[in-house]
Structure formats: structure tokens, C-alpha cells
Chains A and B, each alone.
Chain A
């Protein structure tokens, strides 16, 4: 884990003091809302539908037990006793009161956390593979690079008034679990001739104009990485459109100018900025890397795991869905589902947060991760400890065995909280999860990613869901469009729209029809929904979704 140095500590504390004074001046009337708004947004404070929302960054999704405990403390002391983990590896609090926000930021600073640049036209919280440092398929741990980017981008004087927000994600593994190609810049860490570097992807993004990122450069050595990123953001900062916020993101700049022109401009700018760095960035990366040394893995028998796996079917079901391959022998990555069917995807109560913190402390080398899929991960657990972990999770209502299945749904807050939303997302996710729980078909259906957004901005990543759902306002009524065949991995595909949308009370039955059609049409249980869709195309699913007119007439 990265430990703040004196500079980091002083910087975050100073920002807390500044914002505390700004809040006081707003409350006593010295600042108008127009003057205050950009200041609060710089510190992650939004005003949403029912209340303020404070968006706290969880840089590259990594938390210590102490930090998780503090998030629970904040939830209980200043909010409604729960936290909501998002697709951006953030934790927004939905109910803070303005006078309490300085105290919340101070409590965050106590555990080396902040809400800086979680809003505004800046480089936002850097996200990463949630299995970082643990995954069996990892080439390099993405967190040192992500932390370097966090430090470089925080309060970067050139990049405080960008054309629009800018999101960077980093993956160091073979499989892309961080939706790299849907980011303004995505990095795949790769080795070349024994040296580490990164493939640079640019211009990906979802939202109203979804685009799959393109390769800006095949490989950049670590020593050139920061100057290269600076050159890229700098080119866009000047070239990006400021006349139309819907065309301001770098994906539009790349689309309008073409990747070749962007490459040329970035290379030219890189030649200018490279010498200004003078190697300090490489020194900093080396220093940061020391913070992320692998924990002291123990060499122990896994008998306890093996016998529980054989004798306890509930444990076995959980182990089959919620564990992933770890790079250390005898270890596993355990994903804790915070998506019990019927619950709000991504929500954990303060008590649950404390249970997870304690498990990490006791069994998990003090580390936790938050995934963009809105679950919590214990990245380093010895297999022999898993039966005890599972028992503790069961007691806390956290042992749902559904990772990667129908009820493991991504959903944005939607119109239950968000001022931008055009329809609700959460109750749709709850409805689908509950329905398939009733049908007991979750395991029969197998791997499936459903992603729901409550507006065109696509915080719920609906375009890249195997089944995507987009909630819209159609003439004053909630209406839900469906897309099929999206893929969030390194082979990213934007899903295809099925046709006309469905009313709020029709959307769960519509998803059910799609999945029954899949069960009928698949080539056996090995063929996943996504594979079946790729083989069969849209037609059979469309038939299932939209019965022919005469059938409708007969039914009526």
C-alpha cells in the first residue's frame, strides 16, 4: 500500500483547511453559489436530487482495513449508515450535510484519503484492475503506475481546466478486468525485451457516443510513460472542443482528427516535454514501487479448504463462483459479493464494511480492493483460511455466491439519487436479481454480465454489458432500451440495440424472455450467453422480445 509522505500529507491537509474556510464563507453568505460551486466540485461535493453527495476517491480501488473502517465510521457518523461502491472505484456518500463536509474530509485525511478531483474537468481518480498485485495472469502490478499518475495529475497546473473530464485506467494483466478500452487513456502494462512499459490506448469512452479506444502507441517504456501521458493530455487540452460539451471528450478529438494526426501531434509534443521531466518521474516510480511489495505469503497446507470444499456444498458453490486464481501457490483471490438479490448493487452497511475490514486484517494481509463491478475483494487469502472467511461472511449477509452471474449486476444510482438520471436503475437491478433467484436459474444460465445505466452518460457501462439496459425518459415515463452482445474486455464490443424500449414494469419480463430464448437456443451449457449471441445474432432474441403482431392481437 502506498504511504503518504510529508508532502502528500501537507497537501491533503491544506486542501481540507482551504475547503473548510470556503464552506464557512458560503454559509455566512460571503460566497455566492456561483462562486462556491466550482470550489465544491473540485473537492468532490455535488448537489443531487435529495441531498449533497460527496464522492470519495479510492485510488486504483485499493483500501487498507483501517481505511475501510474509517469509511464505515463516516457512513455512520455523517451519513445513513451505508456506503455505495461505484463503477469508478469511488465511494459516494448520498446524504451528507454541507456543514459536516469539512469534518468528513478531515476524517478521510486521517487515513490518507480524499475527494480531490473526483469531479470537474480534471484528470479523475485513476482506476485499475481490482486483482492488481494478486492475479495469476499479471505481467506487472498496475498500482505503482496508477499512483504515479495520481500524484502527477493531482493539482497539475496545466490540467485543471481541461475541455472535459479525463479518465485513466491501468491494467497489468493478460485479461482486461478494468474496461481499459472505455477510458480516455487506458494502459496495458506489457513487457518488451525484458523491459516493462505500456501499450497506450486512447479515445475510448461510453456515454452518448460510445467508442472503443484505439492504440495510440504500441509500447512506451516506463521511463517515457509520464512524459507521454503529459504530451497526450496536452495535445487534447489545446485541440479538444470547448464549444460543445458533448464533443469535448478526447474520443471525439481522436475521431474528428484521426488517430494518425493525434499520434503525430503527441510525438512532437513528447519531444518537447520529455527533457523537462529529467528522470524525476522514473525515480518517483521506483520509490512508489517499494510501497507495493508483495506481502509475505506463507507456505502452508490447504487441507482445510479441500475438506470444506468436499463436504460443504454451500461453501463449494461460493468457492466456485467467488474465487479467482492467485499468483502465489496456496492462495486465492476472494470476491465478496455486495449484491445479495434484492439489495442495492454496490451498497455495504457500516457493519458489513467493518466485517470486511476485520477479515482483511485477520486473513488478508490488511488489503481490500473495490472493483468497478461494485464488489469488494480480499486479494490475498490463503486457501486454508477460506472456510473461516466464508463463515464470517455468511453471518454478515455477505456470502452471496453470484460473481459473474445474472444477479451480479452493475447499476448506476439512477434517478433514485442522481440529478442527471432520466430513469431509475437500482429497482430494475433488484427486480432482475430477485426474479432469477425465484426461478433458481442463475447457475443454469452461467456467466452473464448485465449492466444498467439510468441515463445516456452510461455510468452503469450498459453499452458493454452482455445485456445492457439504458433507462430513458420517454414523454414523462420511464422507458428502458436493451442492448445485446456488448463486451467490456480487451476484445471490447459495443452492444447492439434490440429495438423499441420497454416500460418500467415490462423490463424484467423482457430480460426473462431473452434468457429463456438463450436457454432454448444454446449449444449446451458450455456455450455462454455471449457466445450464443455471437453465433446466432440478434434475430432470435428479437423474436423473443417482440412477439409478432398477430400473437399480440391474439393475446389482447
Chain B
């Protein structure tokens, strides 16, 4: 009965690096220049920042309000035009009816008769040089 030989842990190679110790001391955080309280206060209360913010917000609000106003105005104009169109269509329909009613042949004939007019005579055919009718 054979028994497998225990696996040997390879020895660290000596490549010039030093083996790391089991418990390394915590690495020091990189050096960050910490602002002083006076610097923080200066940044927070920077007037330029606030002015810029105010300008941007104002411009944005003004833009939105203007666009909204323009849209509302355009909407009112569209509505007005629509009403005008509708009114003109109604007027056109009324005028068409009036024109057609006024031009009715019976109305014109009655009107003419009342003023003593008579129907036109027949077409007179003139014969040129005694030949065929022209």
C-alpha cells in the first residue's frame, strides 16, 4: 500500500524581493492637502458663485416663462384664427346662399317683368350674299 507523499510548499525564491511579513503595518493614506476652515468659508460664500447661479437660474426661469408665454400667445392666435376661419366660412356659406337665391332665374324674371322688360327675340340669321346662312 502506497501513501502519497505530502506536497511540499515551494520555498520562496530569492529574487531580491523581501518576503512580505504576515502583518504589515497599515499603509499611510496619500497626502491630501486639507483645506483650512477659512478656505472653506471663503469658497461657500464666494459671491461669484452665487451671482453665476442666480444668473443661470434667472435666465432659465426667464426662458421658460418666455417660451410658455410665446406658446400661450401662439395658442391664442391659433384660436383667434380658428374662430375667424369659422366665422368666415359661415359668412361665405350665407353669402353663397344669398347670391344663389338672388340669381335664381324666377326671381330675376319676376324682377324684370315688373319693370316692363320682355323676353329677347329670336336669333336673326343673316344670309351673306344670298348664300348659306351665316
Determine if chain A interacts with chain B: no
**Which residues of B come within 8 Å of A, CB atoms?**
none
**Which residues of A come within 8 Å of B, CB atoms?**
none
